[in-house]
Structure 1
Amino acid sequence: MSLKEEFDKVAEDVKNVKTKPTDQELLDLYGLYKQAIVGDVNTDRPGMIDFKGKAKWDAWESRKVLPFASEGEFNATVETVRQFQDGIGKELHQKLLQRAKMKKNWLEEWWLDTAYLEVRLPSQLNVNFGGPASYLEHCWPPAEGVHMERTSLHTWLTLQYWNLLRTERVPPQKAGNKPLDMDQFRMMFCTCKVPGVKKDTIHNYFKTEREGPCPSHLVVMCRGRIFTFDGLCDGQILTPPELLRQLKYVKERCEVEPEGDGVAALTSEERTRWAKAREHLISIDPHNKTILETIQSSLFVISLDETKPYSSPENYTNVTLEALTGNPTIRWGDKSYNALVFSDGSFGSNCDHAPYDAMVLVSMSWYLDQQVKQMGGKWKGSDTVRPMPLPEELVFTVDEKVLSDISHAKQQYLESTKDLQVVCCAFTAFGKATIKQKKLHPDTFVQLAMQLAYYRVHKTPGSCYETATTRTFYHGRTETMRPCTQEAVNWCKAMMDPTCEVDFKRKAMLVAFNKHNKLMSEAQDGKGFDRHLLGLYLIAKEEGLPTPELYMDPLYAKSGGGGNFVLSSSLVGYTTILGAVAPMVHHGYGFFYRIRDDRIVASVTAWKSCHQTDAVTLFNNFTSSLHEMLHLATTSQL
């Protein structure tokens, strides 16, 4: 049977089913053309789209909008979808298939452009991810007078990880028995986003030893000033005592000399404005371009921050807030990795999201955490310091316009960051171990608790994005998994109904669990639909066609489409590493979390200027939901 015949058969079957659709059959509207494999089948061989009917028409249902729709809205949307199916959607899908034949990953370039490089919002707060280091849970609790020594060891360990990547000794990761694409790991070091008037670009200077020389210099920022020095001496990584000498030199100079101009603050500006400011900066002195290239190509930035955001294993709020909103004059917002060092001996990070996803940094952060723990937080090697050049200060030539641009950038950044509310706390009553004893998936447990918390606070379902990795495919990034299913909403309603019996609530919870697990598995296997819908939209845009009605349907945005999810969530893993992001929309929340055997730590963000949302209230209801769910699981003897 030909591809067209298979499609026609499935399409006819779907039409027959839809002559008398039930609500359940109409629950997955935006599962339109759900694609089993678009991109590479695996990372170790050229990719092929599956031409055996896997561009599924059988997902032509509406499960993703029903929770957000009135009856009238729902019926109108169903009609819009059917028109799309029978009309332009079919044509766009065929064009997408042709694109997939020509590229190993049809989405890669598009995703980078639309999700990151074409975005004009200030990216340091709205795009970057950041978070606290977890060393304070073991060897490095907050303390006075220790941060420089700790920074030297932290930098040395980071250079060790860079060397592992250079020598290709970081083991390939797997999801079960499936290898994960490791390309994003090339982007952690020697990488920087460069602003453009209409579109940014990513400059990556990293090379493995087999590929050739790689930049090895570091950049240190302190009190608005910028310094650089080589992380190698005679081809060998500087030892912690040698790094300490270099770092102390920078710190001591900054303590006794005037503050710098803070040119780094320009990276926190709106992207087009920053691009024009950068062009002007280069125009007044060619040496400024050399300095910019030195920063762009550097391994990473070390930010010496004088803040003391005292935090604890139970409450990471202060350090997480500083990681996301700290001093813009001592971090380069476009760098793939800013290592943040606070004067109370705690650490954090702030990273540009464009070149890689957070789980890549989590891998290195977990390595660093375990190495610090293994070493007891102390260097036990030689104290010898070899002769080497002192750090060089990078001083931009500036004029009144540059100084005015810096002032404007700092002002808009301050106004924006003052609006961000952050709560980052540990729930310590139980964790992964107890949840697994109940034979429930820990991530799904947390997601449903979050859904219940949102429903309890807002009395309505919350359109939700959960990150699903697609790194089993060539250069895969992420797919959207939508946790706000009708099954989850039905369960939330049952939990809020005092007349519902425990057994009914238990069964509703299990149904919601099963649906969530199924959708997550599909998304990770390339069978999600949000990226596919994006592809159809971009095909229409490239062809100069009018935007299809589907994408202008009110329920498309209301259900989260077009980047309108009110809950932007992600599991950061089962280690001690945690991150945070700003909410995706003004009336929404960011919700990142990590799950340990004995605890669940969540970072919740909201915008203070939105009076509908409050991160503290959501977190408190989240913890209550966790207790309720465990009680339900226990009393029902799951």
Structure 2
Amino acid sequence: MRKGVGRQVRTTGTFKATMVGKITPVPSEGLPMNATSLPVPDLDTTLRRFLEATGPLTSEPARAGIEASVEDFSRTDGPLLQEKLREFADSEAERGQSYLSEAWTDGYLEARTPLALTSNVGFQIVGDFGAPGSGRAAQLIYRVAAIHLAEVRGETPQEVDGRGTEVDMRQWECLRGGTRHPQADRDEVRFPETAAAGSEIGIVHRGRMFAVGIADEEGQPVSVDSLRDALQRLIAESDSGEGAGGPVLPFTAVSYLGSGTAAGLLEELTASPRNAQVYERLTRLLFVVSLMDEPADNLDHLHRMAFEPDQTWIYKPVTYDVCLADDWMGIHFEHSTADGATVRAAISRMQELEVPSAGPAAELVYEELAWETGEELRHRVEEELEDYRRQAENLHLQRIKVPRISTAGLDFKVSDDALQQFILLYAQLAVYGKARSVYEAVDMREYQAGRTECLRPVTAEAVEFIASLVAGAAGAGQFTAALDKHREWVKACKSGQGIDRHLLGLELTARRTGTRPAFFDGDALRTLRHDFLSTTSLGNPDAMSRYAFAPTTPEGFGVGYVNHPDSYEFTVSYWGSSAENPQGLLRGIEDGGRALGAFMDGLRGGR
């Protein structure tokens, strides 16, 4: 929840734009932001933690050289870069940003590969909105529209985290519509200035895109009955093929091809005045809804929505996916302007919304959006799309469930997150005989312009405990030491003292000053940033029950894990042509769940 350095993808900050103008930062005055700036950690502390984090990942003979490199950096280039980074952080804080805001932007927007296979995320969402069909889809759309339109009207309530701390609200701007606009070298994010009244959404059905009015003259969502009637008419027209006007370019195809390809194709398309108008209207759409006709297993739905083409214009911030034939609902999420915690909060508000029992069923007007194109361009896009399909087919998705491990009966606190990371570490040690780097995302929105920090859960203490568990000789002291170290990393990240973002800030500072200390080219830092497992958790499944994203390394895995009432569920993605022993990893997760559960049972039995 994606992808830079590891999954260190980065934010656009806050922007305003005309439909075709270039984006510019909004002045910080008047923005609803947290007063706490993202701190710059102490250099010596970061370097000490860096040695701790790389210790389990590197060989004993190499560690003396790593320590010497760190010592040299701490005495030579490090202090000057630290001073300059602090100065830069202070100046950015005055602008309402963090010292990583611009870098985060670049990390996302400079990606040239297909977004669905690089940084976008697919979520399965939860909600009891009635029986499958157009009525249920209309219920979902009404709830979604109410939350999006509130953001457009400037009425989104302040979000607070689980500890009651207010979070920076700028990520909620992804609900205003707009689009990420592909360009040759670096994409733009375009948030159009629009009013809630007269807003439109996009409906994708069988690869065709329709613009549908969603708001009344007061900027409130139209009634559920009106939406249901419009969906029924639209689906009937789409099924019949009426209005398509002969062979046309699949509307969403260009967006799946990656910005390196899409930028040129879109420039060709929008050279036509008619297509330029279509693209302007597409940009203004508040959100997109993709309607599925065929029932499927949840994991198949998730794979199709997250990775396979024709579902949406993937440069839009948010697309909602709903099946008309089963209970599936999901979100395809473009990651450049927001993170999963914000999406989760928005979904929770949609679930809690009170929907009027009835309303005036006005007939909504909709219109198909279609590209005007010649045969040669259409043929080129279709060839590129076939290549994309082959890539998507190579990205596999599997789900592993293990019984949830009870922490009852113990006189010390045990976090589910730590247990799930221990299970993943067990799989690494049992299957591969070694531990490699693991990325775990931590929400940082309590800080001004905060995004995420990276927790490094593969600690020396965890490796010692899990290695002993694999050998059948783990002890209670090893377990509590591993838990304490995991808790220490959590606290460091949440207090702005994580190492990954600090090291990135120092590296970018060196780049700005035209220097390149040898430390940044060292094998240890490269090893730490090469994530064999890229992991994230959104806690319980009340809003989102599972999610999927592409791995960040060819041989590695993307892992989204969730705490269900009776199980831990791991949704694992990997490249079929290059992943290292995926079936072994999956078996290792199952074995790790059993072994850790048995160990915990033994602890309770001995007390």
Query: Do both proteins adopt the same fold according to a TM-score greater than 0.5, normalized to the shorter chain?
Result: yes
Q: 1:161 to 1:537 in 2, by over 3 A?
A: same
Q: Partner amino acid for 1:190? A: G
Q: 1:363 to 1:279 in 2, by over 3 A?
A: same
- Residue 482 of structure 1 deviates from its aligned partner by 0.4
Instruction: Summarize the alignment of residues 456-495 of structure 1 with structure 2, pairs less than 5 Å apart.
Output: 456-495=430-469
Instruction: Say yes or no: does 1:348 pair with 2:325.
Output: no
Q: 1:404 to 1:358 in 2, by over 3 A?
A: same
Q: 1:636 to 1:49 in 2, by over 3 A?
A: closer
Out of 179, 204, 207, the residue aligned to residue 221 of structure 1 is: 204
Task: Tell me which moved more, 349-358 or 434-443.
Answer: 434-443
Whether contact under 8 Å (1:197, 1:276) holds in the other structure is: yes
Instruction: Summarize the alignment of residues 28-427 of structure 1 with structure 2, pairs less than 5 Å apart.
Output: 43-45=33-35, 47=37, 55-61=42-48, 62-104=51-93, 105-135=97-127, 146-165=132-151, 166-205=153-192, 216-235=199-218, 236-257=220-241, 260-283=248-271, 285-311=272-298, 317-326=299-308, 328-345=309-326, 346-369=328-351, 380-382=357-359, 384-388=360-364, 390-427=365-402
Aligned to 1:635: 602
Aligned to 2:532: 566
Aligned to 1:36: none
Q: 1:270 to 1:163 in 2, by over 3 A?
A: closer
Describe the SS at the equivalent of 1:233: coil
C-alpha RMSD over aligned residues: 2.6
Describe the SS at the equivalent of 2:47: coil
- Residue 78 of structure 1 deviates from its aligned partner by 1.8
Deviations 1:371-390, CA, capped at 9 Å, x for gaps? 5xx88xxx8424x42244x2
Counterparts of 2:492 and 2:287, CA distance in 1: 36
Counterparts of 1:518 and 1:477, CA distance in 2: 20
Ranges in structure 2 where 5+ consecutive residues have no aligned partner? 1-27
Task: Tell me which moved more, 176-185 or 476-485.
Answer: 176-185
Q: Partner amino acid for 2:190? A: H
Q: 1:134 to 1:254 in 2, by over 3 A?
A: same
- Residue 179 of structure 1 deviates from its aligned partner by 1.9
- Residue 431 of structure 1 deviates from its aligned partner by 5.7
Under a length normalisation based on structure 2, what TM-score does the superposition of the two structures give? 0.86
Whether contact under 8 Å (2:98, 2:449) holds in the other structure is: no
Describe the SS at the equivalent of 2:446: coil
Whether contact under 8 Å (1:467, 1:481) holds in the other structure is: yes
Q: 1:154 to 1:139 in 2, by over 3 A?
A: closer
Describe the SS at the equivalent of 1:507: helix
Whether contact under 8 Å (2:215, 2:222) holds in the other structure is: yes
Describe the SS at the equivalent of 2:270: helix
Aligned to 2:517: 548
- Residue 534 of structure 1 deviates from its aligned partner by 0.9
Counterparts of 2:497 and 2:37, CA distance in 1: 15
Q: Partner amino acid for 2:89? A: A
Deviations 1:146-175, CA, capped at 9 Å, x for gaps? 332211111011112224433524342124
Describe the SS at the equivalent of 1:422: strand
Whether contact under 8 Å (1:320, 1:424) holds in the other structure is: no
Instruction: Say yes or no: does 1:581 pair with 2:567.
Output: no
Counterparts of 2:83 and 2:480, CA distance in 1: 38
Q: Partner amino acid for 2:535? A: S
Counterparts of 2:409 and 2:445, CA distance in 1: 27
Counterparts of 2:284 and 2:129, CA distance in 1: 32
- Residue 305 of structure 1 deviates from its aligned partner by 2.6
- Residue 361 of structure 1 deviates from its aligned partner by 1.0
Deviations 1:81-137, CA, capped at 9 Å, x for gaps? 2222222222222211111121113334333333201112211221100022234xx
Aligned to 1:19: none
Whether contact under 8 Å (1:430, 1:597) holds in the other structure is: yes
- Residue 46 of structure 1 deviates from its aligned partner by 6.8
Aligned to 2:12: none
Whether contact under 8 Å (1:225, 1:261) holds in the other structure is: no
Whether contact under 8 Å (2:441, 2:455) holds in the other structure is: yes
Q: Partner amino acid for 1:244? A: R
- Residue 364 of structure 1 deviates from its aligned partner by 2.1
Describe the SS at the equivalent of 1:64: helix
Aligned to 1:531: 501
Describe the SS at the equivalent of 2:52: coil
- Residue 59 of structure 1 deviates from its aligned partner by 4.0
Describe the SS at the equivalent of 1:198: coil
Counterparts of 1:343 and 1:609, CA distance in 2: 34
Counterparts of 1:472 and 1:369, CA distance in 2: 24
- Residue 487 of structure 1 deviates from its aligned partner by 1.0
Q: 1:140 to 1:618 in 2, by over 3 A?
A: farther
- Residue 214 of structure 1 deviates from its aligned partner by 6.8
Q: 1:480 to 1:247 in 2, by over 3 A?
A: same
Identical-residue share of aligned pairs (%): 19
Counterparts of 1:85 and 1:244, CA distance in 2: 64
Whether contact under 8 Å (2:548, 2:558) holds in the other structure is: yes
Whether contact under 8 Å (2:196, 2:215) holds in the other structure is: no
- Residue 63 of structure 1 deviates from its aligned partner by 0.9
Q: 1:387 to 1:224 in 2, by over 3 A?
A: closer
Whether contact under 8 Å (1:436, 1:442) holds in the other structure is: no
Out of 401, 425, 448, the residue aligned to residue 422 of structure 2 is: 448
Whether contact under 8 Å (1:449, 1:625) holds in the other structure is: yes
Q: Partner amino acid for 1:161? A: I
Describe the SS at the equivalent of 2:541: coil
Task: Tell me which moved more, 417-426 or 523-532.
Answer: 417-426
Q: Partner amino acid for 2:511? A: K
Under a length normalisation based on structure 1, what TM-score does the superposition of the two structures give? 0.82
Whether contact under 8 Å (1:432, 1:595) holds in the other structure is: no
- Residue 452 of structure 1 deviates from its aligned partner by 1.1
Deviations 1:177-228, CA, capped at 9 Å, x for gaps? 4322121012133131111111011112377xxxx65772101112232210
Counterparts of 1:112 and 1:215, CA distance in 2: 33
Counterparts of 1:269 and 1:184, CA distance in 2: 26
Counterparts of 2:471 and 2:38, CA distance in 1: 49
Q: 1:579 to 1:433 in 2, by over 3 A?
A: farther
Q: 1:48 to 1:254 in 2, by over 3 A?
A: closer
Q: 1:630 to 1:356 in 2, by over 3 A?
A: same
Describe the SS at the equivalent of 1:103: helix
Q: Partner amino acid for 1:262? A: P
Counterparts of 1:239 and 1:495, CA distance in 2: 57
Higher RCO (C-alpha under 8 Å, 6+ residues apart)? 2
Whether contact under 8 Å (1:188, 1:356) holds in the other structure is: no
Q: 1:106 to 1:162 in 2, by over 3 A?
A: closer
Q: 1:302 to 1:58 in 2, by over 3 A?
A: closer
Task: Tell me which moved more, 595-604 or 244-253.
Answer: 595-604
Whether contact under 8 Å (1:43, 1:179) holds in the other structure is: no
Q: 1:131 to 1:48 in 2, by over 3 A?
A: closer
Counterparts of 1:196 and 1:432, CA distance in 2: 51
